[in-house]
Amino acid sequence: MFPLKITNTKLLFVSIGILFSAASCTSKADEKYKDWKVYGGTSENIKYSSLTQVNTDNVKNLQVAWTYSSGQASATNTTDMKTNAIVVDGILYGLNPQLKLFALDAATGKEKWVYDPVTVPEKGKNIGRGPFAYSTKISRGIAFYKGSEDDQRILYTPGGGHALYCIDALTGKVITSFGNNGIVDLHEGLGMKNEYDLHISNTSPGIIYKDLIIVGSRLSEAAQSAQGHIRAYDVHTGKQRWIFHTIPQPGEPGYESWENPEAYTYVGGANVWGGFSLDEARGMVFAGTGSATPDFYGGNRKGNNLYSNSVLALDAATGKLRWHFQTVHHDLWDWDIPTHPILATIKKDGKQVDVVVQVGKTGFIYMFDRVTGKPIHPIEEKPVPTSDLAGEKTAPTQPIPTFFKPFVRQVITEADLFKDGIPDSSYQDILKKFRSYKTDNMWNPPSVQGTLQNPGWNGGTEWGGPSYDPTTGIMYVNANESPWVVQMSDINKPDTTSRATVRTNLQVGKSLFEAQCAGCHGVDRRGGETNPALAANPSLIGIEKGSNLNRSIKYDEASFKSLITTGRNNMPPFMHLAEEQKTAIASYVLNLKAKQNQRFSVSDREELPPNFKSPYRMSGGKFLTKEGYPAVKPPWGHLSAINLNTGEVEWKQTIGDYPELKAKGIHAGSENFGSSVVTAGGVIFIAATRDEKIRGFNKKTGELLWEASLPAAGIATPTVYEVNGKQFLVIACGGGGKQRTKSGDKYVAFALPDKK
């Protein structure tokens, strides 16, 4: 019964009309969010499912429905699978650790077909320069286009392969009418004079708008890197239809934000590596960009550096800029925008407002009017510390949101250091180190003294991004709380400006290694063996053939130089290095005595062009205890429910455990990668952690309702879908990667048991 008595019949009919209209909208929304045809669920990328078969009462009954072994996981914990599978008309599409594309019956997990990207059509064997190679082997998803029942296409980029593929979704065969016999080289049309010598790939999928696929890129973060321009291609022909210059060229808005008028010719980065969201009705595509290169020192790229670290709104049909907002000016902290924005609708001053919400590594939440780009709540420019490095020029202010509180700690004090659960000697060690660093402001720039950077390079938020429930206005964001240390040191290398200077391969190789490789493998080349902060990176000691050390892979000069060129797993390619430079690095790392004392020729090239040289070498890594734990008090990984209407945190829950700490009653949470999925059934699902679990929480209270063990860590975003009236939850269990847990190749689907 209606609690309100209505006597005016006109009002009664209007009220009934409103009710029916609301019911109709809800019904349409329910249908829209039942599918998972797009990376992130729908083009808003909110990772919401309107399915209700699995709910808070029965989620505890979920069991494994099927498992698919996709094949080719590494035995050395180096491969991973970050794929968010999509489901179209009862067929599930995903990628294996070697980026083979496959199609399964979504109800049973039975394989329909597999496409191997190594099988390149004859005309595509030489894309750009040199043999085709893909080696990074990271891809978070694929894009699906349906023109008709007979024209269904999958478009994706295999990791480091610098090529966009077009595959028939019905047969798993290359569509040869697309690009060069089914492939588009992402180097082409970038507009850089040395574009073919630079690494470019795409780890997050593009997004489909009408007959276009809009793509971003993954780039090297070294001084010499490609530019992250956003491009759109015709899904039928592969022709590039538009390009948006994320590093503006003369005459374009934003060009004035670079002090050096030639910066656009040599600065790289500002790339979209976290994916897109799309307002199809308005024809607007939204993205967040990464920092300009190189990280940590910007003496060669003075200025605010638009459009790096920016939220961009573009006309999806033309690539024209609608609006932008820069979240970090002149980034010196590697605080990329790591994830796509989400599209939401909030209540403001009694009105419904369509908004764009962007979260960042910094822990800030930014919210903008979707059409105008005007901040919904004030964002204030506040003064920040300046750099004391020679040649550096920090931005005087940074934009600080005022409405939403940061969802991670941003300044660490001595009271925040981890003490319980470790020996006092370990605590005293981190306390001593802490007191030696700059720690009083999150915006302290890199320094020779050493700067504690919090949030660290892995956030805050990472590439998974948030999920959002459009029926409640609640956003769910998982985050990391593990600070890093950045320390700069004077290079103090001999003068190489004179071409008469004689230097050996050993001298140059050591110099290049420290400039290009030490940030990941350590100056001592031992990576995670001696520095827990570099745990994701292997030691390079004893990798030469003939060494008596037990290493999984060993190299001679030729194979090591090939590794430098192509990259491998998490290591990016260094295609910008000249052959002489690769020889020099190989002589140093592989201890090639016969090559080390040979003269390094600089007759026709310098070690690095002037615009790429830095007076400093960066070293750094996670700030950890001797035991390898983050050096701050838990939580180290958590999931927060944030009300986008009120700004309030509804609840916060740790995710992930360290068994030895859990036994002591410490629920620490762990570093996590991948997103959550929220459902109308009242459950929010997330894996993402290194402890090889997937969990279901009550979306209203944060109560843990269900967890299950996985064959390997699910460092990916789950997919929720329905086939023949049955609801499924599937997760890619790849492990490996940055987490350095065991690698896996299985997709595991959960469902409620069939009724008997």
pLDDT of residue 21: 38
Check whether 639 has a pLDDT greater than 80: yes
- List the chain domain ranges: 48-82+463-480+635-756, 86-204, 492-613
Six-digit token pair at 518? 């030490």
For 482, phi then psi, to 5°, come to -140, 105
Mark residue 224 as left, alpha or beta (left: phi above 0; alpha: psi -120 to 50; beta: remaining).
beta
pTM of the model: 0.87
pLDDT of residue 378: 98
What single-letter DSSP state applies at residue 167? E
Check whether 271 has a pLDDT greater than 50: yes
The SS3 call for residue 683 is strand
Average pLDDT over residues 649-673: 95
Check whether 591 has a pLDDT greater than 50: yes
Check whether 129 has a pLDDT greater than 50: no
Residues 282-302: pLDDT tens digits? 999 999 999 999 999 999 999
DSSP for 81-129 reads -----EEETTEEEEE-TT--EEEEETTT--EEEEE-TTS--GGGSS-SS
Give 707's pLDDT tier (boundaries 50, 70, 90).
Answer: very high
Distance CA 192, CA 219 (A): 14
Least confident segment among 22-31, 308-317, 599-608, 623-632: 22-31
Choose among 91, 111, 108: nearest CA to 35.
Answer: 91
The SS3 call for residue 598 is coil
Q: What is the mean pLDDT of the chain?
A: 88
Mark residue 531 as left, alpha or beta (left: phi above 0; alpha: psi -120 to 50; beta: remaining).
beta
Choose among 521, 524, 512: nearest CA to 613.
Answer: 512
pLDDT of residue 517: 80
Give, in order, the Cα–Cα distances in Å from 309 to each of 325, 335, 337, 585, 735: 9, 7, 6, 32, 29
Question: Which residue type, as a one-letter code, is found at position 673?
Answer: F
Distance CA 347, CA 145 (A): 34
Check whether 124 has a pLDDT greater than 80: no
Q: To 5 degrees, how large is the angle CA 237–CA 323–CA 313?
A: 40
Choose among 460, 401, 355, 362: nearest CA to 46.
Answer: 355
CB 287 within 8 A of CB 312: yes
Distance of CA 615 to the CA centre of its chain: 29
Q: Higher confidence at residue 238 or residue 738? A: 238
Number of other residues whose CB lies within 10 A of the CB of residue 316: 25
Distance CA 130, CA 352 (A): 54
**CA atoms lying within 13 Å on the CB side of residue 127:** 27
518-556 as b/e: b if 16+ CB within 10 A: bbbbbeebbbbbebbbbbbbbbbbbbbeeeeeebeeebe
| CB contact set of 444 (below 8 Å; sequence gap of 6+) | 385, 438, 451, 452, 453
CATH fold of 48-82+463-480+635-756 reads: Lipocalin (2.40.128)
Average pLDDT over residues 37-48: 98
Six-digit token pair at 432? 């001593």
Burial class (CB in 10 A: 0-12, 13-18, 19+), 4: exposed
Tell me the CATH number of domain 86-204, given options 3.20.20.80, 2.60.120.10, 2.40.10.480, 2.60.40.10: 2.40.10.480
Looking only at the bridges linking them, the beta strands covering 143-148 and 151-156 are: antiparallel
Q: Cα Rg for the chain, rounded, in angstroms?
A: 26
Number of other residues whose CB lies within 10 A of the CB of residue 117: 23
Q: To 5 degrees, how large is the angle CA 492–CA 496–CA 502?
A: 110
Q: The domain 492-613: what is its CATH number?
A: 1.10.760.10
CB 535 within 8 A of CB 634: no
pLDDT of residue 7: 33
Q: To 5 degrees, how large is the angle CA 502–CA 508–CA 510?
A: 145
